[in-house]
């Protein structure tokens, strides 16, 4: 019979219930520079013994641990915090040991309070301090040795008791606790990104629609639009694929499967005789023109994000040079993309499980590296959920080892667990279900999940009002108020959000068909001429919102979100806080009718005191109010303004 051997009985402390910890430490949590990591854990042992619990942390590549003493929260729960100061990944772990001196000190306090003789106890304490002196080095060792001698010498005097209970001696002993039998938790990781991964306003635009007089636009034409985008306060200009577009089976206007002469095709049908994923569509310009666009964008405070879509047109060089990278049908032809009954003959999916997969994966990884070498540091990745998880985990880690400031946005409109897995594997941000969350209950439920559960440790939502593929029913029917509602929700619920323009600010809302989310005369398949100077444009509203986002740290984080009770299901109220900064947003979700309700503020969530007046400035209208109570009646007419975004300050 096999006899189980006991573990080392001297290792008595248990560490469990560690938070944050993702899948038992399989994946890292995420932070950006300047953020903090607060770690909690259940730490305990049998009996009434006192513990010394420490949070250890260091940047990857360093050998010396930084130590933060954990504080008890009650019920055997402990907590400590450390700050992220560098861009390299961090490692953290927990260490806990029996603290005999702390237990002895607590017992001594009780004996003294009871009037007992404590000479023997002080001798016991002197031995504990002497043992610590032998472990310590430098000045600590000298001070502890002196304290041990004094405790033994002054065991019968009041001075001995005073020394035994002094905070200085307690701190010295805690710093030199015996760790030889300490319990150490496994190492956990923090993936660290630059600040733009946490917060940013994105603007999607087709460069080919920036040309004057209806001609095909170029990167130089796109540069003329930079001031327009910057004046609205955006941080990131996102470009759909800029590669050569195939001609075989080129789609026509309105996604017609048969193109006509002069049709320009979809930018996502990548590859032609002019090259593939590392080439530029000739009508847009040259690689030098692209680099010039990046420089000019930086002059306006904009970063350029590039779309990477791993699929090929039938004309892509890879089809000719590496046919083994594609799936073949029994007749020998390459399998084009399908989503029955829809057929996409202009796109060939790549076979990530090909026998030549290693060469394929390396080439795809090199696509990112090529554009990073040109200066691109933000990538929006098309449909990553249709590619192997293992590829993304390997590729992103490898790319980051060379370019630690790269940011990856996953365009993954898919099931929650798949979106979350991609985030764990390394994607910094992700598209999500926001476009289809319109009701108060579903917005509240969804954003509670994203910001107040363990999901927030690894998943950063990027909220898009619309995309070239998504024109929601709400935007189709909500009129101008509906567009403002979705803008306000996206820009204030999320630290990162985006719009597809100029379609959004120019209120483009006609679907191709009844019940469809595709645009009529979609820009995906034809050039568009946008009158960006139209008087009904939302550009000024967008600019006000983005100015508020830059001015308020609360709107630059997904943490600090709290929902407030408002007695009308058509009205939603929530706040974002960061330190002393607080922003309160109230939105009428009904874009057609005036709605009224009583608002009850959660003052604790806002960091406000009961009975203290609050001054509010509306970002959208610049109107100012003073509220004397946490209970207010709110009325919102969507034809006037469908939302309030209040910057809040306690009255002096």
SS3 per-residue string spanning 559-604: CCEEEEEECCCCEEEEEEEECCEEEEEEEECCCCCCEEEEEECCHH
For the chain, helix (H) and strand (E) counts, in that order, are 17, 30
Q: Put residue 153 in one of left, alpha, beta given phi > 0 → left and psi -120 to 50 → alpha.
A: alpha
> How far out from the chain centre does Cα 594 lie?
35
Residue entry with tokens 């001196």: 101
Residues 6+ apart with CB under 8 A from 4: none
Q: What is the mean pLDDT of residues 22-36?
A: 96
* Poorest-pLDDT segment among 17-21, 143-147, 468-472: 143-147
Percent of the chain scored above 70 by pLDDT? 98
- Three-point CA angle 183, 189, 193, nearest 5°: 155
pLDDT tens-digit map of 341-363? 778 889 999 999 999 999 999 99
Phi and psi dihedrals of 326, rounded to 5? -125, 155
Which pLDDT score, from 0 to 100, does residue 8 have?
58
Which pLDDT score, from 0 to 100, does residue 275 have?
98
Catalytic one among 121, 315, 382, 590?
382
Peptide bond into 20 cis (omega under 30): yes
Distance CA 164, CA 176 (A): 16
Strand 188-193 to strand 337-339: parallel, antiparallel, or no bridges (unpaired)?
A: unpaired
Which pLDDT score, from 0 to 100, does residue 191 have?
97
pLDDT-based confidence at residue 652 (cuts at 50, 70, 90): confident
Q: What is the mean pLDDT of residues 463-484?
A: 98
DSSP 8-state class, residue 519? B
Q: What is the mean pLDDT of residues 144-161?
A: 89
Which pLDDT score, from 0 to 100, does residue 49 have?
83
Which pLDDT score, from 0 to 100, does residue 280 have?
98
Distance CA 307, CA 285 (A): 17
Distance CA 346, CA 248 (A): 6
Q: Which 3-state string (H, E, C) describes 124-183?
A: HHHHHHHHHHHHCCHHHHHHHHHHHHHHHHCCCCHHHHHHHCCHHHHHHHHHCCCCCCCE
Check if the beta carbon of residue 572 is closer than 8 Å to that of residue 631.
no
Distance CA 118, CA 111 (A): 7
Distance CA 236, CA 193 (A): 16
Which pLDDT score, from 0 to 100, does residue 7 have?
57
Which pLDDT score, from 0 to 100, does residue 90 have?
97
Domains and CATH numbers, the chain: 14-99+182-192 (2.60.40.10), 100-175 (1.20.58.80), 201-313+357-531 (3.20.20.80), 561-650 (2.60.40.1180)
**121 catalytically annotated:** no
> How far out from the chain centre does Cα 489 lie?
17
> How far out from the chain centre does Cα 57 lie?
21
Distance CA 408, CA 193 (A): 10
Q: Which of 91, 187, 202, 196 is nearest to 428 (CA)?
A: 196
CA-to-CA separations, 260 to 250, 315, 391, 589, in angstroms, rounded: 9, 18, 38, 42
Question: Average pLDDT of the chain?
Answer: 95
Other C-beta atoms closer than 10 Å to the C-beta of 12 total 19
With residues binned 3-state (H G I as helix, E B as strand, rest as coil), the percentages for the chain, rounded to 5, are 35, 25, 40
Which pLDDT score, from 0 to 100, does residue 156 have?
83
Percent of the chain scored above 90 by pLDDT? 88
**Which parts of 300-356 fold into alpha helices (H)?**
317-321
Check if the beta carbon of residue 304 is closer than 8 Å to that of residue 239.
yes
HSE-up (13 A, CA, CB side) for residue 600: 4
103, β-bridge pairs: none
Q: Which of 107, 17, 96 is nearest to 52 (CA)?
A: 96
Which pLDDT score, from 0 to 100, does residue 343 have?
80
pLDDT-based confidence at residue 340 (cuts at 50, 70, 90): confident
Q: Which of 150, 139, 149 is nearest to 172 (CA)?
A: 139
Residue entry with tokens 């994607």: 427
- Three-point CA angle 494, 495, 497, nearest 5°: 65
**Helix, strand, or coil (residue 235):** coil
* Poorest-pLDDT segment among 116-130, 274-288, 393-407, 413-427: 116-130
DSSP 8-state class, residue 355? T
Instruction: Report the C-alpha dihedral over residues 533, 534, 538, 544, rounded to 10 degrees.
Output: 40
pLDDT tens-digit map of 269-322? 999 999 999 999 999 999 999 999 999 999 999 999 999 999 999 999 999 999
Q: What is the mean pLDDT of residues 433-445?
A: 98
Which pLDDT score, from 0 to 100, does residue 651 have?
85
pLDDT-based confidence at residue 219 (cuts at 50, 70, 90): very high
pLDDT-based confidence at residue 9 (cuts at 50, 70, 90): low
- What length does the chain have? 652
Q: What is the mean pLDDT of residues 327-334?
A: 92
Q: What is the mean pLDDT of residues 485-498?
A: 98
pLDDT tens-digit map of 165-207? 999 999 999 989 988 889 999 999 999 999 999 999 999 999 9
Task: Specify the DSSP element, H or E, that contains 224.
Answer: helix 219-224
576, β-bridge pairs: 561, 583
pLDDT-based confidence at residue 339 (cuts at 50, 70, 90): confident
Which pLDDT score, from 0 to 100, does residue 341 have?
78
pLDDT tens-digit map of 230-263? 999 999 999 999 999 999 999 999 999 899 999 9
Check if the beta carbon of residue 83 is closer than 8 Å to that of residue 90.
no
Q: What is the mean pLDDT of residues 475-486?
A: 98
Q: What is the mean pLDDT of residues 69-98?
A: 96
Strand 378-382 to strand 303-308: parallel, antiparallel, or no bridges (unpaired)?
A: parallel
**382 catalytically annotated:** yes
pTM comes to 0.94
Q: Put residue 579 in one of left, alpha, beta given phi > 0 → left and psi -120 to 50 → alpha.
A: left
Using the predicted structure, report yes or no on whether residue 2 has a pLDDT greater than 70. no
* Poorest-pLDDT segment among 292-296, 321-325, 336-340: 336-340
Q: What is the mean pLDDT of residues 60-70?
A: 95
Q: What is the mean pLDDT of residues 398-425?
A: 97
Catalytic one among 204, 235, 315, 411?
411
Using the predicted structure, report yes or no on whether residue 533 has a pLDDT greater than 90. yes
When comparing pLDDT for 92 and 132, which is higher? 92
């Amino acid at each position: 019979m096999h006899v189980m051997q006991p573990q080392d009985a001297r290792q008595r402390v248990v560490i469990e219930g560690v938070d944050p910890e993702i899948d038992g430490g399989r994946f890292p949590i995420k932070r950006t520079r300047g953020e903090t990591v607060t770690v909690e854990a259940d730490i305990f042992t049998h009996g009434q013994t006192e513990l010394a619990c420490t949070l250890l942390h260091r940047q990857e590549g360093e050998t010396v641990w930084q130590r933060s003493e954990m504080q008890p929260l009650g019920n055997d729960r402990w907590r400590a915090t450390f700050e992220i100061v560098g861009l390299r990944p961090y490692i953290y772990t927990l260490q806990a040991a029996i603290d005999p001196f702390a237990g002895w000190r607590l017992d001594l306090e009780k004996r003294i309070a009871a009037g007992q003789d404590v000479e023997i106890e002080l001798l016991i304490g002197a031995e504990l301090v002497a043992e610590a002196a032998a472990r310590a080095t430098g000045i600590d060792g000298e001070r502890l040795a002196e304290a041990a001698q004094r405790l033994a010498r002054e065991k019968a005097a009041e001075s001995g008791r005073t020394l035994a209970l002094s905070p200085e001696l307690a701190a010295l002993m805690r710093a030199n606790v015996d760790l030889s039998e300490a319990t150490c938790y496994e190492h956990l990781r923090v993936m660290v990104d630059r600040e733009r991964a946490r917060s940013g306003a994105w603007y999607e635009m087709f460069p080919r629609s920036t040309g004057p007089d209806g001609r095909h636009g170029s990167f130089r034409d796109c540069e003329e639009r930079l001031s327009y985008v910057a004046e609205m306060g955006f941080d990131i200009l996102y470009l759909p694929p800029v590669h050569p577009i195939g001609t075989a089976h080129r789609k026509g206007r309105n996604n017609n499967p048969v193109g006509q002469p002069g049709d320009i095709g979809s930018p996502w049908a990548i590859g032609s005789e002019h090259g593939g994923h590392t080439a530029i569509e000739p009508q847009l310009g040259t690689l030098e023109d692209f680099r010039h666009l990046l420089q000019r964008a930086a002059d306006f405070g904009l970063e350029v994000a590039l779309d990477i879509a791993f699929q090929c047109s039938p004309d892509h060089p890879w089809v000719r040079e590496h046919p083994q990278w594609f799936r073949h049908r029994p007749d020998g032809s390459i399998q084009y993309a399908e989503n029955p009954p829809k057929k996409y003959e202009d796109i060939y999916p790549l076979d990530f499980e090909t026998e030549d997969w290693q060469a394929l994966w390396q080439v795809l990884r090199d696509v990112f590296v090529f554009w990073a070498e040109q200066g691109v540091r933000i990538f929006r990745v098309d449909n990553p959920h249709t590619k192997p998880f293992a590829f993304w985990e390997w590729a992103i880690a490898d790319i980051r080892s060379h370019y630690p400031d790269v940011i990856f946005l996953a365009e993954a409109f898919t099931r929650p667990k798949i979106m979350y897995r991609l985030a764990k594997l390394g994607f910094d941000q992700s598209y999500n279900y926001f476009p289809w969350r319109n009701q108060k209950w579903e917005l509240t439920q969804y954003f509670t999940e994203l910001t107040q559960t363990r999901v927030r440790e690894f998943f950063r939502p990027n909220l898009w009002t619309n995309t070239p593929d998504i024109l929601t029913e709400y935007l189709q029917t909500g009129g101008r108020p509906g567009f403002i509602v979705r803008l306000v929700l996206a820009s204030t619920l999320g630290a990162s959000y985006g719009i597809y323009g100029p379609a959004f600010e120019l209120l483009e809302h006609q679907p191709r068909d009844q019940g469809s989310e595709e645009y009529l005369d979609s820009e995906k398949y034809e050039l568009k001429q946008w009158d960006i100077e139209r008087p009904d444009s939302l550009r000024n509203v967008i600019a006000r919102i983005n100015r508020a986002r830059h001015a308020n740290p609360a709107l630059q984080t997904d943490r600090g979100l709290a929902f407030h009770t408002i007695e009308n299901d058509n009205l939603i109220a929530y706040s974002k806080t960061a330190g002393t900064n607080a922003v309160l947003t109230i939105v009428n979700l009904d874009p057609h009718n005036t709605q009224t309700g009583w608002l009850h503020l959660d003052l604790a969530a806002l960091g406000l005191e009961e009975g203290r007046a609050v001054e509010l400035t509306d970002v959208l209208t610049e109107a100012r109010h003073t509220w004397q109570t946490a209970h207010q009646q709110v009325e919102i007419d969507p034809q006037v303004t469908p939302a309030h975004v209040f910057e809040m300050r306690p009255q002096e």
